[in-house]
Amino acid sequence: MSKSKRPRTALVTGASSGIGEAIAREYAKRGIGLVLVARRRERLEALASELGEHVRVAIIAEDLADAGAPGRIVEQLERDGLQVDILVNNAGYGVPGRFLSSDWKTHADFLQVMVGAVAELTHRLLPGMEARGHGGVLNVASVAGLVPGSAGHTMYGAVKSWMIRFSESLSLECAPRGVHVTALCPGFTYSEFHDVTGTRAQVSRMSPRMWLQADDVARAGIDALEAGEPMCIPGWRYRLIRQVAKHLPDGVARRIIGRRSKDFRDDS
């Protein structure tokens, strides 16, 4: 995206905390208007009050586990005359434990947030970007989508792998039309994520060197999108892990992940 076509407004899902909040803050620093989307209205209002001193900020309180939420979000944008130039699909979480330790409704809600809402919001907002000849989609995936699957949090790596492949394909389709698409693939990042999934005690035993700061991840992802890079892996350690995983025999990589998965996954 050239500076002459600098986007005016970014819509960020899951903007009330963690990487989503950090991305919103970074865009505000860069003078980009914001549409903040999350379930927790009070948090959105507090963040909007703070960032609204610098850029125009709108909030939309919606739960993306509701299949009707993407449509209502786009309808709200149209009613308010808001044009989205950057879509940040960040909302997400993990379902701890074995696949069969949770009921299907739990898994269905997870898939709606992590796959259904991502695909639908992208499908609804991309046409406007392509028509204007500029824009961007930043999909917050994970390095978990680039390494073999682990026991526990059974679908997390799978949906992140889908998000990466989805982003790669969209990048090829949209680049000729002036729209950049990037998959942001962070590793362990300081946020509320592990508190929500109940794995804080496990991951706290990991080396501090493996942890990333949310604001660093946000800057790296936004810079990669601006540069038209289809994938961004913040942190040299995680780029190294990805390269090692690519070159190890599949069976060896799976055994290593299998042995280490209890360090960061609840498989009970």
Instruction: Provide the annotated active-site residues.
Output: 156
The SS3 of residue 137 is strand
Task: Kindly report the number of other CB atoms within 10 A of residue 178's CB atom.
Answer: 16
CA dist 258 → 108, 199, 262 (Å): 26, 17, 8
Q: Confirm if 178 and 2 have CB atoms less than 8 A apart.
A: no
Gap between the Cα atoms of 17 and 193, Å rounded: 9
Helix (H, G, I), strand (E, B) or coil at 82: coil
116 strand-pairing partners: none
Which residue, among 137, 191, 180, 173, has the nearest Cα to 10 in the 3D structure? 137
The token duo for 242 is: 């990805």
SS3 content of the chain, % helix, strand, coil (to 5): 55, 15, 30
Tell me phi and psi for residue 251, to 5 degrees.
Answer: -65, -40
Cα distance between residue 55 and residue 100, in whole Å: 46
33-38: strand order across its sheet: 57-61, 33-38, 9-13, 86-89, 135-140, 179-184, 231-232
Neighbours of 159 (CB within 10 A): 22
